[in-house]
Structure formats: C-alpha cells, structure tokens
Amino acid sequence: MNRVCILLDSSNFFHLVLKKLKIREFDYDSFTAYLAKDRTIINRGKRFYVGTVREKQGNFRSIEAMSNQTRLFTKLKETGNWEIKTSKLRMRNEKITIDDRVTNYKALLKAGFTEIEYERAREKGIDVKLATDLIICAIDNQYDIAILISSDTDLVPAVDWVRRRCKKIVEYIGFSIPNENNPDLSTKPTPTMIAKTDIQRVLVESDIRPFEIKTQTPLI
C-alpha cells in the first residue's frame, strides 16, 4: 500500500502558493520527492495539469510567458519524467463594479469611475482531465494513494468515487499562507477537501521555501 500517484493542479498551486510567496522558479521534482517520502511514485505517476499560454500579436509579455512555459515543460519531461496535461487558456472580458468591496473605492468613484473592464484568462477542462486520470488510474489499480495538490472542490465527486468504489486512499495537500495586510487574501486549506479525503497535510511557508530556485526569470 505504498504506490503513489501525484496530481498537481499547477494553476491552483501557482495562485495559492507561488504567487503569494513571490517564488519565480520552483523545484517540482524535489517537492514531489518530499511529498512521497519513503513511498514509491509509480511510472508516469507525476502529473502536471496546466493551461497553455497563447501568443498575442504584438504582446511581448505573452511571447515571454510562452517561452518560459515551454522551458518548464522541457525541464519537467527531461529531468523528472512528468506527464504534462494541458488545456488552452480562454480569454474573456470581465467587469468589476466600483463599490465598497474595492480598495480606495471612494477615490475611484470621486474620479468618475463606476466600473472597470479587464481581460482575464480562464482554464477550461483541466479539472476534468485531472478527475479522469484520478478515476482511470484507480480502475486500472495503478496506485494505492493519490496525492492531490489542488483545492478545487470540483474534484470532490471524483475523490468520493475512487475512495468508495476502488478503495483508494486520497491524500490532500493544502496550504496555509497568511496575508497580514489583507486576511481575506490569505491562502487556507479547503474544509471540503479536508472532510472528503483520507489524509490531510497542510504546508506552510517554511515547508515550501526549501524548494525555491533563486532566479531572475518571470513567475511561471
């Protein structure tokens, strides 16, 4: 009962951890070895789920982001034997109404701003791919324990299924990263994931920092 499969929702991990800690490059291989401890990671048992960046004509940042992402994918495949599961990022315009939920909203209203429109990238289908792998690998009896690095509650039905029908163990990796300036923006483990999994591990900043790679490259 020591075969593990590690499923990492990279966008979730980026926004909840790397971005909050301003980590520009991360040692995913050492991190997964730390999570596995003395357990055996199965063949093709490190899976990285991510939305792919698309180039926008005339936008240097998008070109740079694509280059950095390609470099990361190459490194993961060559040095860590990762399975990279991708979906395209979809862009859509969203609006924010200026009210008391917005910092300095009074100044913005006084300046004549009542709403802000911006373009936002959305991943489509990543949670489906992760849930599918979780189930199929359980049906094929490829793992004993699934280590899930995601706080996306859309995965709960799949987690329930593999635990109930396949008698697999699901280990949830959550994070606790406080934001002293704005507690509402703190990263916290998801109560639903804690309640619906067999093993729960909550990591703090001191658990994450040893895997930071010092670099001047942009955040990935």
Cα 157 to Cα 160: distance, rounded to the nearest angstrom: 5
Cβ proximity of 47 and 7 under 8 Å: yes
Cβ proximity of 1 and 145 under 8 Å: yes
* Predicted local confidence at residue 70, as pLDDT: 84
* Predicted local confidence at residue 96, as pLDDT: 81
* Helix axis angle, 60-80 to 28-36, nearest 10°: 50
* Predicted local confidence at residue 111, as pLDDT: 86
Burial 53-78 (b: 16+ CB within 10 A, else e): beeeeeeeeeeebeebbeebbeebee
At CA 19, angle to CA 73 and CA 98, rounded to 5?
A: 125
Whether 137 shows a pLDDT value over 70: the answer reads yes
Per-residue pLDDT of 43-75, as tens digits, reads 999 999 998 876 666 666 666 777 788 888 888
Per-residue pLDDT of 75-120, as tens digits, reads 898 887 899 998 865 555 667 888 887 778 888 888 888 887 755 5
Q: Give me the mean pLDDT over the 3-18 stretch.
A: 95
Whether 37 shows a pLDDT value over 90: the answer reads yes
Whether 160 shows a pLDDT value over 90: the answer reads yes
CB atoms within 10 A of CB 79: 11
Q: Give me the mean pLDDT over the 132-140 stretch.
A: 97
* Predicted local confidence at residue 99, as pLDDT: 86
* Predicted local confidence at residue 118, as pLDDT: 57
CATH superfamily of 3-88+124-211: 5'-nuclease (3.40.50.1010)
Which has the higher per-residue pLDDT, 74 or 6? Answer: 6
Cα 10 to Cα 8: distance, rounded to the nearest angstrom: 6
* Percentage of residues of the chain with pLDDT beyond 90: 60
Q: Give me the mean pLDDT over the 157-166 stretch.
A: 98
Which has the higher per-residue pLDDT, 91 or 134? Answer: 134
* Helix axis angle, 156-165 to 126-139, nearest 10°: 0
Which residues, including other chains, have CB under 8 Å from residue 22's CB and lie 6 or more apart? 219
Cα 205 to Cα 138: distance, rounded to the nearest angstrom: 32
Whether 192 shows a pLDDT value over 70: the answer reads yes
